[in-house]
Structure 1
């Protein structure tokens, strides 16, 4: 058994199984609803698609402060409590979706939902940093990502069956099952006590600090720049790819589904193994490599022809494999780098600002990618490539200004 665990580069999970199951349940519920988020409000509520898009954009803007606020909550109350609160918030909002049927109500509910979602990610990342054994943080983040992809994939399949056979009632079932999954995950986190931070032996109060201290960390400001760049790269898969393949290149509508399947399969099968390969390498170097590999994938996507569907699929599939390799390197490494830089008593604030960069990218990506795509099919890939090359330069400079302990640390220490 230990040989298999080492071969798959899995972390030590003894005493932490409820944490893993809770994250898997959360991912399963998310997968139920995620593929149908836009369609649900249109098909089940009769709201025009343009209005749905406006609702989601407004809600995303209103939820931007959630990340920094969550950072304060994590540092004050601990990550487990914040994660439980984020799940309970979404239990209430998804229950509310069933009864809401006018746009202003949905703006309120979606905004609160996004606040809950933005609370979950810094809380979960801080919880993993708190409970992971020395040297295993990257393994934990990698396993978490693989589990999330499995859960989202299975949830998406179940949701598809419900929607296909149940019609409007199927959409309602998907929403309610998602709420139930969040409630079950909250119960699992609440029943698990191992994640509580130990009290100081000398009885003195915990150290305090604020965002002024975090924002004075020049190295971390550089890290935040790269987080935003990598978030845009990641969002290219969900926001840009389908429009590029179908609209810009005029290729069959089934091809994006194949590309998503390739990406999901590779993440599930290879994420933990890749984490094991990179855990002894300097994090900044791993992220530079990821950025360079992303540039190669964007070049392959840009070369996709419009006329030949077979050749186009071959280039797209190759590009997706290369794209996913970059994801496998970057995803578990970025949060591990943030945790390595952060002082323990400010860890939540560091991760909260990391989530803010993701939120900013989610706001920028739809408008930015579609505008560039309208100007020319190749322009989004050129812009992303330029951003990645800029990230490489920032990361090279970071190697000289990182705190000594963070520069020496291997992933997970």
Structure 2
């Protein structure tokens, strides 16, 4: 990695570390510590998600016009203010306002960071750059959650204030690191703007790009069937249908993170030599097996130990699929984007992800808690749908987009042959 990429990845890891301090405890903080109850805690989480959706509608064009660096700094400062205010809030209005700032800020960071990674990498190094980003994000979230769990105490509101203050501090560190980044000269803002200095044609261009539109549909299904179920439908299904002890949910999430951390670079060699569409299709099959394990945990007639083991295996298999997706999907978004619209494409995909994460718990939560059989069948079908959609997407991709390593090798061979011809002449 170059100096710019190292700093971007360091800021990415530190911001994830800060998020890990508060994400697992936001519901408890609003409902119990501030005494607003479960209803308003749900509303606060909804405001958090809605603010993220609204902010992402405008983020892409701003990135393409002004560059990702000022957008990232502004988002980090906004998130820091939101986190600090949330830690000090003691009434409903201030909690809602703070959650909106925090949700908008953290959402905007994603496409800004992704665009900076694109500008600081080449098509051949991009796969590893996004794999490293995902690895550091999960590592930061895991370590942050671990440290946060040692500090948090429901009987002491000040402990939560400390958590949010640490989170705010990490966001400010991210802003400071971003300001020190010198993006490569060939990725200057002027080079990334369309002729006339206008930032693309917005989401209409994305919707008119058939391959990108198919990738967005595929992305929605991916995030809806996996991340959208982690802490809602799947957790409810595990406790209600499988009789999983709540403490075992922590082991399941730990297994998920452990597989990602261990497998990320082991699967990278496998992934970067193969077609992206087929890698994503294989993830659909892996997640189908994961949902079958979940079905056995809740609907089988084995012992409680076997049910718990199957349930933990579900999360572990999800982690394996995530490790395969991280060096595949994000670089594909970047390779599909015209040079002048990288920010718009990253923002559009982040918006799709946010919608899936918002709707996933809304649909999966009630189903996982009450309709156990239909819940498992539904998400087995979603996982098989991932495979079908990925294979269909592969037909629309160019060889360079679907398998960059092969295209890079072809370019090297072509250059080598040209040099040989010159020598012979």
Same fold? TM cut 0.5: yes
Is contact 1:336–1:411 with CA below 8 Å preserved after alignment? no
Please give the TM-score of this superposition, normalised by the length of structure 1.
Answer: 0.90
Q: 1:383-398 maps to which residues of 2 (within 5 A)?
A: 383-398=378-393
Which of 7, 32, 53 lines up with 1:18 in the alignment? Answer: 7
Q: Does 1:65 align with 2:54?
A: yes
Partner residue, 1:120 = 109
RMSD: 2.4
C-alpha distance in 1 between matches for 2:371 and 2:394: 36
C-alpha distance in 2 between matches for 1:122 and 1:411: 27
Q: 1:105-144 maps to which residues of 2 (within 5 A)?
A: 105-144=94-133
Q: Does 1:225 align with 2:217?
A: yes
Partner residue, 1:49 = 38
Partner residue, 2:200 = 209
Please give the TM-score of this superposition, normalised by the length of structure 2.
Answer: 0.88
Q: Does 1:244 align with 2:237?
A: yes
* Greater mean deviation of Cα atoms: 123-132 or 241-250: 241-250
C-alpha distance in 2 between matches for 1:61 and 1:165: 27
Is contact 1:336–1:412 with CA below 8 Å preserved after alignment? no
Q: Does 1:268 align with 2:261?
A: yes
User: 1:200 and 1:294, CA in 2 relative to 1: closer, same or farther beyond 3 A?
Assistant: closer
User: 1:408 and 1:207, CA in 2 relative to 1: closer, same or farther beyond 3 A?
Assistant: farther
C-alpha distance in 2 between matches for 1:339 and 1:266: 26
* Greater mean deviation of Cα atoms: 57-66 or 20-29: 57-66
Superposition deviation, residue 350 in structure 1:
0.9
C-alpha distance in 2 between matches for 1:194 and 1:63: 26
Superposition deviation, residue 62 in structure 1:
4.2
Is contact 1:89–1:113 with CA below 8 Å preserved after alignment? yes
Q: Does 1:157 align with 2:146?
A: yes
* Greater mean deviation of Cα atoms: 162-171 or 240-249: 162-171
User: 1:290 and 1:412, CA in 2 relative to 1: closer, same or farther beyond 3 A?
Assistant: farther
Q: Does 1:347 align with 2:342?
A: yes
User: 1:276 and 1:99, CA in 2 relative to 1: closer, same or farther beyond 3 A?
Assistant: same
**1:146-197 CA deviation, whole Å, 9 max, x = no partner?**
1111111111122112114982211111111111111111101111123562
Which of 10, 18, 29 lines up with 2:18 in the alignment? Answer: 29
Unaligned segments of structure 1, at least 5 residues? 1-11
Superposition deviation, residue 372 in structure 1:
1.6
Which of 233, 241, 254 lines up with 2:247 in the alignment? Answer: 254
Superposition deviation, residue 403 in structure 1:
4.5
User: 1:411 and 1:372, CA in 2 relative to 1: closer, same or farther beyond 3 A?
Assistant: farther
Superposition deviation, residue 99 in structure 1:
3.5
Partner residue, 2:303 = 308
Superposition deviation, residue 404 in structure 1:
5.7
Partner residue, 2:416 = none
**1:191-233 CA deviation, whole Å, 9 max, x = no partner?**
11235623559x9755752122221101111100110011112
C-alpha distance in 1 between matches for 2:127 and 2:293: 29
C-alpha distance in 1 between matches for 2:87 and 2:54: 27
Partner residue, 1:102 = 91
Q: Which structure has the greater CA radius of gyration?
A: 2
Is contact 1:27–1:148 with CA below 8 Å preserved after alignment? yes
Is contact 1:339–1:347 with CA below 8 Å preserved after alignment? yes
C-alpha distance in 2 between matches for 1:175 and 1:126: 27
User: 1:412 and 1:65, CA in 2 relative to 1: closer, same or farther beyond 3 A?
Assistant: farther
C-alpha distance in 2 between matches for 1:401 and 1:43: 50
User: 1:264 and 1:14, CA in 2 relative to 1: closer, same or farther beyond 3 A?
Assistant: same
Partner residue, 2:419 = none
User: 1:364 and 1:15, CA in 2 relative to 1: closer, same or farther beyond 3 A?
Assistant: closer
C-alpha distance in 2 between matches for 1:32 and 1:339: 30
Partner residue, 2:180 = 191
Partner residue, 1:148 = 137
Q: Does 1:90 align with 2:90?
A: no
Superposition deviation, residue 355 in structure 1:
0.9
Is contact 2:20–2:140 with CA below 8 Å preserved after alignment? yes
C-alpha distance in 2 between matches for 1:30 and 1:395: 31
C-alpha distance in 2 between matches for 1:316 and 1:82: 40
Superposition deviation, residue 388 in structure 1:
2.4
User: 1:269 and 1:227, CA in 2 relative to 1: closer, same or farther beyond 3 A?
Assistant: same
User: 1:103 and 1:259, CA in 2 relative to 1: closer, same or farther beyond 3 A?
Assistant: same
User: 1:411 and 1:154, CA in 2 relative to 1: closer, same or farther beyond 3 A?
Assistant: farther
User: 1:58 and 1:91, CA in 2 relative to 1: closer, same or farther beyond 3 A?
Assistant: closer
Q: Does 1:297 align with 2:290?
A: yes
